[in-house]
Structure 1
Amino acid sequence: MRIVLPRFSMVFALSVCLLVMLAVLFGPVLAFWPAEHQDLMHSFSGPSARHWLGTDELGRDILSRLGTGARAAVLGPMIVALGAMVWGAGIAMVATYHGGIGESLIVFWIDLMSSVPHLLVAIVALGMLSGSYWDAIIVMIVLLAPGDARIIRNATRQQRNLAYVEALRVAGVPTVRIIFRHILFSVIPQGLVQASANFTTGIIMLSSLSFLGFGVPPGAADWGRMMVEGRLVIGQNPCCMLGAGLAIACTATSVSILSDWLGSRLAMKTGGVHAR
């Protein structure tokens, strides 16, 4: 049982990620129907050979919209996770390695941003801006970067006092190389786990902002927007909401499973490298 469950989870995660990546790359091409194609004569039709998940209130094919909407639903959180990690990790590693006032400022920034409600701040910020999809992504990067900085700061504090770092300093290795070649490689496992958490948070927050009218425009083929619009007609065709909800849940879960596995593997390798 201990062997079967991990294998099943990995197969599940790899399968879902493969399907999602195919949808991101070729969703509009593989779709049975154009995402905006309307057939008012067949609105709210149930699953059938013609429409595998049925249609919505405008007669649009739900499965085709799920495939087409994967690009906006997945690439946005990926950009958020990557942007927050690059910004938060870069600042945290440099400031923590040198210590002093720079590290104190980083700690103050982390504590300040951790004390504010992210969704409320995002709503206020987007209300002052245009409230577009890219505005939402930028705001989320700013809000999530301190969480990455906290994780990377703790990992960097552990690494900067180790014997191999001191040996590199004595050998005259440049500081930039020590930080971005040796310490960075050591904190990658923690960074991957945090990035997967940010990816999940990104999907949820983008969906929440869509509910409030920010991000993708109404009617767009996007998983978060489809959930928001589908909840109003869940009685007519549950697939309008459940299809997008399951897509979000399965994608987030699969990314977390793969990142945990990859993080543990990298942790073993980096530990072995420094041990030698």
Structure 2
Amino acid sequence: MTSKTTGSTPPDNLTPQRQAMPRVNQVTAADITASLKAGFSDFLARPFMSGFFGLFYAVFGLLFVWSLVWLGKIWMIIPAIVGFPLVAPFAAAGLYEMSRRLEKAESFGWSEILTVMTNQSKREMGWMAFVTLFIFWVWVYQIRLLLAIILKDASFSDFDGFLNAVFFTPQGWTFLVIGTCVGALLSAVLFAVTVVAMPLLLDRETNFVSAMLTSIRVVTQNPVVMLSWAAIISVTMLLSLVPAFLGLIFTLPILGHTTWHLYRRAVSPAGG
């Protein structure tokens, strides 16, 4: 006697379909040049709206540094300034949306751009923000640990004393070398997992793990070009911090728009 088991096999249309990973392209130095030109063009198309994001980022940076002085956390000023660019990819989400809409010739206003993060809540942008802020927290914690180990007897009661301990003592030089290596490693990790992940999440339906894996594949398949782009971002951002963060008003928007166009060249369109 044979028995039938009903309902053991779901209908084909109810079987979960595995989402295909985006296809990664080879990019060259010419792609970076073309993306920079496109990014500058996007900035000129909406200079005030683009500049707003740079101004907001700069003001936030100044307030952050001022709060550290007010709280007496002098030792955190330099690590915070150096690590501040780490959160730029998250801050540039509105710029990616502007470039996306400009590319498609779609009209948009302040409301569409300023609410981009809340509108993308279902695309796990919040998880990418968590990853970014977590790595920034690890950076600050590591610096605090290194200060305690290497410069334990130094006085950080004022900014001049901190600068003297870091730049004019053998222990300070050791701290700078090790701190630079730690910072470079964390920056490389964050760059690899976010360089196209944020634009990808904004552009199509996918989860943040797939977005990060795609970003890592872009970097590993184009190491020289992407490391060159990382160097351009790092140098530009750090130089922009020198005149009281004001350079960020221009450089952050251009770099943000450029990142969108580089993403479009590095990752094939959905279904492409």
TM norm structure 1: 0.31
TM norm structure 2: 0.31
